[in-house]
Structure 1
Amino acid sequence: MKNNKKKIAVSVVAAILLVLLYLLIFAFSGQDGEESGSLSSMISEKCAELLNAISGKHWTQNVIDSMAAYFEHPIRKLAHFSEYACMGMLLYGVWRPWKERNRKLYLLIVLWVFVSAGADEFHQLFVPGRYGCFADVVLDTCGGAFGLLVCVCVEKIVRRRKQKRKDKEKEITL
């Protein structure tokens, strides 16, 4: 009984966070081209300013602006990847307590991420100044698969540590 309550709690928390993530993704996708571009520019500029401060180089504003322009595209793509990596992790949290770890579970999660990414890009077709891009669907799906992989690896490490503890306890009792 206690184990089922834990499973339910993990799934519910993951599901709530997943819904919030979908709302965030939908809000970003709903921004028109100008709004989305200005947000990306602002984040890129902050990254360039941070790099300038860390390096101690005291760049001119022109150099900072050039660096920000250089960073903008990779930062946008990293944001896509990260959002969907979180989605892969949360989907694992929703379904893992109820399903065995196997290829079907992994395929289900990656497929879910792929469909979600496709729906997001389709949505952008109807937003002024935005467009849908299959390359972003692929990138998002890779992000989701990466998030899933992180969860699988962490679970494997935890399982091994528990087994080592059990083995040590058996040695001590013998």
Structure 2
Amino acid sequence: MKYVWLFIKTVLRLVLKPLSFVPAIIVMYCIFNFSSQSGVSSAQLSYKVTHKLVETVDTIADLELTDAQINVYTDKYHFYVRKLAHFSEYFLLAVTVSFPLYVYGMRGIWLMVFAGAFCVGFACLDEYHQSFVAGRTPTKRDVYIDSCGIFLGIILTRIVGFIGRKTIFAPLAKKR
């Protein structure tokens, strides 16, 4: 039984550890595709999302807003939804980049530096890429917003990893 367990651990280590980077690649692909949209189609998509959010809040809070009021609130919050999308995309990227690095043993300041530099570099390349897309312009403000999402994502990964090591995986560490 001991050898079966050892075999399973070896297979998991050889197969699943390298696959832990796949979510990061998928998130990078999605970010690249969102950046490839023209300015008009990107604005339309985020406007639809904002409109749906305002309608949902109206329904949940039972505000009974008219269509004109919904449009006013949609226009008011559209900018913030777009910036929250930037923050969220890069938060998710930071988590999906930090987790595999954490699994491979990178901890502490090195995790923050390496994952942070990688994600911020990708954010800069993303803004540069937008300079070639019709109706899009690169802005430093977007990179700053992305960086805030990145920082929060890395911090969250470190906290979850620390809690996991102290609780869930502590019995496994004692077996060694």
For residues 93 and 6 of structure 1, the distance between their equivalents in structure 2, rounded to whole angstroms, comes to: 16
> Which residue is equivalent to 1:93?
99
2:103 aligned partner, one-letter code = P
> Are 1:136 and 2:147 matched, yes or no?
no
Structure 2 CA distance for partners of 1:138 and 1:164, relative to 1, 3 Å: same
* Residue among 97, 104, 108 paired with 2:114: 108
Point out 4+ residue stretches in structure 1 off by more than 6 angstroms. 163-166
> Are 1:122 and 2:128 matched, yes or no?
yes
Counting aligned pairs with the same residue, the percent is 26
Offset, 1:5: 4.1
Task: Please report the TM-score for the alignment, with normalisation by the length of structure 2.
Answer: 0.86
> Are 1:154 and 2:160 matched, yes or no?
yes
> Which residue is equivalent to 1:15?
21
CA RMSD of aligned residues (A): 2.1
Offset, 1:3: 4.7
Offset, 1:11: 3.6
Structure 2 CA distance for partners of 1:163 and 1:94, relative to 1, 3 Å: closer
Q: Is the 8 A contact 2:102 2:161 kept in 1?
A: no
1:79 aligned partner, one-letter code = A
* Residue among 80, 88, 92 paired with 1:82: 88
For residues 87 and 70 of structure 2, the distance between their equivalents in structure 1, rounded to whole angstroms, comes to: 25
1:24 aligned partner, one-letter code = C
For residues 21 and 151 of structure 2, the distance between their equivalents in structure 1, rounded to whole angstroms, comes to: 18
For residues 156 and 4 of structure 1, the distance between their equivalents in structure 2, rounded to whole angstroms, comes to: 24
1:157 aligned partner, one-letter code = I
Structure 2 CA distance for partners of 1:6 and 1:163, relative to 1, 3 Å: closer
Q: How many residues align?
A: 167
For residues 4 and 106 of structure 1, the distance between their equivalents in structure 2, rounded to whole angstroms, comes to: 28
2:164 aligned partner, one-letter code = V
For residues 4 and 147 of structure 1, the distance between their equivalents in structure 2, rounded to whole angstroms, comes to: 30
Gap regions ≥5 residues in structure 2: 1-5
> Are 1:27 and 2:28 matched, yes or no?
no
Is the deviation greater in 141-150 or in 5-14?
5-14
- Residue aligned with 2:103, SS: coil
Offset, 1:161: 2.1
Offset, 1:4: 5.2
For residues 4 and 107 of structure 1, the distance between their equivalents in structure 2, rounded to whole angstroms, comes to: 30
> Which residue is equivalent to 1:36?
42
